[in-house]
């Protein structure tokens, strides 16, 4: 091979991966996140994993003052944190507004600091916004959701300061422990009801 041909061959072999990488980068899905809580995060985690367009759901804590809280600390009702989920979603498939409409359906937003038998500020209904647009949407959807409830909605809408992921054993809890007592009695019925709601939405959208 002549020196010039060799030089060109070496050059092309070195730049080809660059073009491939740039192409791959363009195909990366741009996602956004939403953070909200309404009762035990095992319930919301299982419910929102069913939503088309949701990429990932992480159970955790937010809204309080204690840094790096543990589950035991949050359960003490002295950290100020609520049990929440962080939802990573593809906005081209599901909007933040849609997620909030589903959130207000997924739990009872009219009970202060409780969901069913779960009582404490860690179980409060809360939306934690990350920018002014999310705040505006959350306030709008809350007002719209009030039409579906006879009692006043008590959901807090506050800025997100920091989200702390919960311990590993809390992640995907219902999927990993479907026969556990609380999962059978509380989580499973909520998931089934939520799944029926999603199916009804899909059917209505198809009409």
Main-chain dihedrals φ then ψ at residue 70, nearest 5 degrees: -100, 165
For 143, counting Cβ atoms within 10 Å of its Cβ (0-12 exposed, 13-18 middle, 19+ buried), the class is: exposed
Residues labelled catalytic: 40
Nearest C-alpha neighbor of 194 from the set 108, 97, 83 = 108
Which tokens in the block code for residue 150?
């006879």
Angle, to 10 degrees, between the axis of helix 96-106 and the axis of helix 188-206?
130
Question: How many other β-carbons are positioned within 10 Å of the β-carbon of residue 33?
Answer: 16
Q: Classify each residue of 84-100 as buried b or exposed e, where b means 16 or more C-beta atoms within 10 Å of its C-beta.
A: bbbbebeeeebebebbb
Please give the Cα distance from 53 to 46 (Å, whole number). 15
């Amino acid at each position: 091979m002549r020196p010039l041909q060799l030089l060109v061959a070496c050059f092309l072999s070195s730049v080809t991966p660059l073009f491939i990488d740039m192409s791959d980068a363009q195909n990366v899905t741009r996602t956004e996140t939403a953070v909200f809580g309404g009762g035990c995060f095992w319930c919301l985690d299982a419910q929102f994993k069913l939503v088309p367009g949701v990429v990932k759901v992480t159970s955790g804590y937010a809204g309080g003052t204690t840094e790096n809280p543990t589950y035991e600390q949050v359960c003490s009702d002295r950290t100020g944190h609520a049990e929440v989920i962080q939802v990573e979603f593809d906005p081209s498939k599901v909007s933040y507004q849609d997620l909030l409409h589903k959130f207000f359906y997924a739990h009872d937003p009219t009970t202060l600091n409780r969901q069913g038998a779960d009582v404490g500020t860690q179980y409060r209904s809360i939306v934690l916004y990350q920018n002014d647009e999310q705040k505006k949407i959350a306030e709008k959807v809350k007002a719209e959701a009030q039409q579906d409830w006879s009692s006043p909605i008590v959901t807090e809408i506050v800025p997100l300061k920091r989200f702390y992921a919960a311990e590993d054993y809390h992640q995907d809890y219902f999927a990993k422990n479907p026969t556990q007592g609380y999962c059978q009695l509380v989580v499973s019925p909520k998931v089934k009801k939520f799944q029926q709601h999603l199916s009804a939405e899909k059917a209505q959208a198809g009409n």
